[in-house]
Structure formats: structure tokens, C-alpha cells
């Protein structure tokens, strides 16, 4: 083979390899761009799912808040049922000073009254405050469970 022909073949091979290298780098750039696009799409979908879950949680909290506000209105409309009864002071009639005979007769016929009256106050079972705390804790645990599912 002659040197000029061999040089021509080598230059031709070099040109083909350079063209292939250029083509491969363009394909690599194109694939990198497609990867970035897909990563962005995935990030967007994850954010959509997270926002959807947050909206649902907010919606549940708002509906629960509405229910609690309605219960509060019902309770505040009927305050007599929850207020303690007013103390009734015994009426004392003015009577003339009794004589010794009348005092002895009254003492025998009247039973002794206790010196002090005892009043017992008992808390209502299942009060609204306890129920609202339980509901709040329940919603918090549900939200935490849902939160873990997305991450």
C-alpha cells in the first residue's frame, strides 16, 4: 500500500470516528435532558400527592371543627342544663320567743337537723373537652400515618 492511500484511509477512519463521537455526545446530551425532564415530572407528581393529602387533612379538620362548633352552639343554647342549681336560702319566719314548756315540747317532736349540709359535685362523664382531645389525638395519628406513606 502506498503511503498516500494509507494516509487517506486513516483520515477517513478518523473522520468517521469523530462523526460517531459527535453523534454519541449529542445522544448523551439528549438522554440527560430527558432524564432531567422525567425527574422533574416525578417531583411534580410527588408534590401533587403531598398537596392532595394535605388538602384532605385540612378538609377533615375543617369538617371536624364545624361539628365541634355546632356542638358548642348547642351546648351554649341550653346552658340551664349544665349550670348548677341556685342555692335556695331557707326562709326564717320571725316567731315570738318560746317559753320553757314550748321549747321542751318542740325539742321532743322535732328531729335533729344535721349541722352542715354536704353537697357533692360530680364531673360529667364524656365531657366535650375530653372528646375533643381524643378526636385531636386521633386526627394527629391518622395524619402521621398518611404522612409516612408518601415518604
Residue 100: other Cβ atoms inside 10 A: 7
Q: What cell does 34 get?
A: 430527558
Maximum average pLDDT range among 20-24, 78-82, 112-116, 142-146? 20-24
Nearest-angstrom CA–CA distance, 49 and 118: 61
Average pLDDT, the chain: 77
68 and 139 in contact (C-beta within 8 Å)?
Answer: no
- Is the pLDDT at 111 greater than 70? The verdict is no
Stronger pLDDT, 43 or 92, i.e. the higher one: 43
pLDDT the model gives residue 151:
47
Give the model's confidence band at 138: pLDDT under 50 very low, under 70 low, under 90 confident, else very high.
confident
- Is the pLDDT at 144 greater than 80? The verdict is no
Nearest-angstrom CA–CA distance, 80 and 74: 12
Residue appearing with cell numbers 359535685: 121
Provide the whole-model pTM.
0.42
- Is the pLDDT at 76 greater than 50? The verdict is yes
Nearest-angstrom CA–CA distance, 88 and 133: 36
- Is the pLDDT at 113 greater than 80? The verdict is no
Nearest-angstrom CA–CA distance, 103 and 100: 5
90 and 143 in contact (C-beta within 8 Å)?
Answer: no
Length of the chain: 151
Stronger pLDDT, 11 or 137, i.e. the higher one: 11
Q: How does pLDDT run across 16-75, given as a tens digit for each residue?
A: 999 999 999 999 999 999 999 999 999 999 999 999 999 999 999 999 999 999 999 998
Amino acid at each position: 500500500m502506498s503511503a498516500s492511500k494509507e494516509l487517506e484511509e486513516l483520515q477517513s477512519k478518523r473522520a468517521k470516528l469523530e462523526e460517531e463521537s459527535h453523534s454519541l455526545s449529542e445522544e448523551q446530551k439528549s438522554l440527560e435532558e430527558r432524564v432531567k425532564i422525567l425527574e422533574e415530572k416525578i417531583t411534580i407528581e410527588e408534590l401533587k400527592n403531598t398537596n392532595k393529602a394535605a388538602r384532605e387533612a385540612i378538609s377533615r379538620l375543617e369538617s371536624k371543627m364545624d361539628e365541634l362548633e355546632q356542638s358548642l352552639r348547642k351546648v351554649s343554647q341550653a346552658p340551664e342544663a349544665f349550670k348548677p342549681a341556685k342555692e335556695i336560702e331557707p326562709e326564717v319566719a320571725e316567731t315570738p320567743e318560746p317559753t320553757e314548756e314550748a321549747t321542751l315540747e318542740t325539742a321532743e317532736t322535732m328531729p335533729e337537723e344535721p349541722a352542715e349540709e354536704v353537697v357533692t359535685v360530680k364531673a360529667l362523664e364524656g365531657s366535650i373537652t375530653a372528646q375533643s382531645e381524643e378526636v385531636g389525638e386521633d386526627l394527629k395519628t391518622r395524619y402521621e400515618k398518611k404522612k409516612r406513606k408518601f415518604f
